[in-house]
Structure 1
Amino acid sequence: MIGARRVASRAALLAAALTCLAGAVATPALADQTPGYSHDGTIGLTATDWMARLSDSTLLSEMSLPGTHDSGSSVFGGDIAFTQSMNLATQLNSGIRAWDIRLGEYSGRLELYHGIARQGQDFQNDVLATADAFLQAHPTESILMRVKEEQTVTDFADQVHSYLAADPHVYRGSSDDPQLGDIRGKIVVLQDFSSSTREGIPWNNSDWSVQDNYTLSNNWDLANKWHSVAAQLDAASSGPATETYVNFLSGSGGSFPYFVASGHSSPGTGAPDLLTGWTRGIINSCGGSSSCIPEYPSVNCFLGTCSVAFQGTNVLAMQKMNATSGTHHRYGIVYSDFPGAGLIQDIINSNAGSGS
């Protein structure tokens, strides 16, 4: 009788295991719709006047500013070149206050480029005009605009100067760390090009700390990128008050920009996370690799062993910020690809006096 019970018990366990196995085999990596990442044209966030809550005496170095990397790269080039899904106007309406503007020349005019991929957007008529219209409607705000020569242009500095000199919203102060009251309603150019004329704040500034470790050889380099991002977030939170911190969450090379931002297997906002190929639990291949970081989630668990999925820098940065939500933390200028509403809002809320 005892032997029969054991056989029945083993049969029941086997049946249960087979049932679970069938379910596990049919289950892909879980869809991951996270507020840190969005590949949609709108993200459901309206934050047009959030800087109005900050004191006029707040220094640029004291602020946390959500930004976009390669801000205009949303038109041509496909997944290898796309870094944004929101257009420039939608970015500003969603709370973005720092742009990364890369320029080249086409038919005698400056246009947005990402590498060799021309984006069909004119510097004067699309970029500056969009910024001007926003600041006209929202004079408490300020837009930081990194300007970089992406494609070689013979008279690049002269062309940029001619457009900026004619724009009444461009900040013309001499301080490299201005107070917010002095730059409200202004475009603050972060000058990342050589010129005999000062057009704004020099990008290569001795009082600036910039993290832009952007080259990934393959998807597994994402862990190293995250370590760079996390270290810069910590540095900004605890570093000298007069130092301005810049943190690029973006990366490319051997990985698509959307993957670095999200960890997804495809670009969609709610696409599944890509599996790393490692496992945790009874079968633990993750522990033998420094690239299998604790921040990567365990998914599709079965009989004590779980697959490990990638997690993108946008998502991990938002999680790190959420861990200290409700307290003031300076994160500096945070440039990201495909930012979601949650990431943008966390950066905004970290400012002193933001009302968080």
Structure 2
Amino acid sequence: MSLFGGSKILCQSWPLKAQLTAGIRFLDIRCKLEGGHFLIYHVNTFQEATFSDVLKDTLSFLKEHPRETVLMRVIEELPIIPKADFAPRLRRYLDEEGQGQVWAKEAIPTLGQARGKVVILEELENEVLGVPYEELSVGDAWHVLCPEYKWDQVKEHLGTANTGDPAILHLTFCSGNGLFTNPEELAKDINQRCYQYLKAQARPAVRWGVVIMDFPGMGLIRIIVGSNFEAGSGCTSTESL
């Protein structure tokens, strides 16, 4: 949702609806609780959207495509002091505006359970309002000093997703920021490396888990989505995400 701000803030060029249509199925949603409402922020920049907007657009997409699912990481963006009412307000949003199409349980759902739903990945300390983020396999070396080292970390975690426990959800972040780069410059480098790497892999297709990127391109999206249909029998409705 980071569409506004300077070069250190911008992470996307497509609005949410366009991302979903293109094949994006993971959203990193960062909120600040102000005046009883969840406003979408990236660092200190308001992104001219609310959490209600995000839910509305995502659920509208899922109603039109009921066999799809969307993973949504929800966090409180850089609070000076975490607000005690953040979790209760999030629960109200999910209950009142989730239209019964939000998975907010601790267990990772099967694909059959997740179809047509938003699956919440949460990082709350005292409440469970989704799959606990700390229980996932996450490769998120977001602070980047050297693109080559960043790519090595991405490639290593993609290997973990391929050979690791299939019962664990693997998230590999290609995105990042740093003193000598910004999200768009890094995306041009890492996304191209990722495209070439995945394209060069031998058949049958391997398990990539969730591949997360800033400024995604259609070529890379197609390779990732296509791998779901090349791995033999693929993922059935009784298998975990």
Larger C-alpha radius of gyration, 1 or 2?
A: 1
Q: Are residues 1:228 and 2:150 paired?
A: no
Per-residue deviation, residues 62-109 of structure 1 (Å, max 9, x unmatched): xxxxxxxxxx001x2121100001111111100001111011133431
TM-score by length of 2: 0.89
Quote the residue 1:134 is aligned against. Answer: 61
Q: Which amino acid aligns with 1:314?
A: N
Q: Secondary structure at the match of 1:80?
A: coil
Question: After the TM superposition, which residues 19-30 of structure 1 pair with which residues of structure 2 at under 5 Å, given as runs?
Answer: none
Residues 261-276 of structure 1 aligned to structure 2 (within 5 Å): 261-262=187-188
Task: Provide the C-alpha distance between the structure 2 equivalents of 1:325 and 1:118, rounded to a whole number of angstroms.
Answer: 43
Moved over 3 A (4+): 352-356
Aligned AA (2:10): F
**Match status 1:193 vs 2:119:** no
Task: Please list every run of 5 or more consecutive structure 1 residues that lacks an aligned counterpart in the other structure.
Answer: 1-71, 263-311
| Native 8 Å contact 1:73 1:83 kept in 2 | yes
Cα offsets for 1:301-343 (capped at 9, x unmatched)? xxxxxxxxxxx11000110000026522111111100000011
Matched, 1:147 2:65: no
Q: Which of 150, 160, 165 lines up with 2:90 in the alignment?
A: 160
- Can you give the 5+ residue segments of structure 2 that lack an aligned partner in the other structure? 235-241
Q: For residues 328 and 149 of structure 1, do their structure 2 counterparts lie closer, same or farther at Cα, with a shift above 3 Å needed?
A: same
The one-letter code matched in structure 1 to 2:115 is R
CA contact (8 A) 2:106 2:132 kept: no
Matches within 5 A, 1:165-180: 165-166=95-96, 167=98, 168-176=100-108, 178-180=109-111
Call closer, same or farther: CA 1:259–1:101 in 2, change over 3 Å: same
Q: Distance in 1 between matches of 2:204 and 2:123?
A: 33
Aligned AA (1:244): L
Q: Provide the residue aligned with 1:318 in structure 2.
A: 195
Whether the 8 Å contact between 2:184 and 2:215 is mirrored in structure 1 is yes
Report what 1:238 is aligned to: 163
2:132 matched residue in structure 1: 202
Q: Distance in 1 between matches of 2:169 and 2:117?
A: 19
C-alpha deviation, 1:240, in angstroms: 2.1
SS in 2 for 1:227: helix
Corresponding position of 1:339: 216
2:184 pairs with one of 243, 252, 258: 258
CA distance in 1, matches of 2:2, 2:115: 26
TM, length-normalised to structure 1: 0.61
* Residue 20 (structure 2) pairs with residue 92 (structure 1): yes
Aligned length in residues: 227
Q: CA separation in 2, counterparts of 1:344 and 1:94?
A: 8
SS of match in other structure, 2:102: coil
2:238 corresponds in structure 1 to none
CA distance in 2, matches of 1:339, 1:123: 22
Q: Distance in 2 between matches of 1:170 and 1:142?
A: 10
SS in 2 for 1:215: coil
**C-alpha distance in 2, partners of 1:143/1:78?**
28
Amino acid at match of 2:159: D
Shift of 1:123: 0.3
- Asked if 2 retains the 8 angstrom alpha-carbon contact of 1:147 and 1:193, the reply is no
Query: Which of the pair has the greater relative contact order for Cα pairs under 8 Å at 6+ separation?
Result: 1
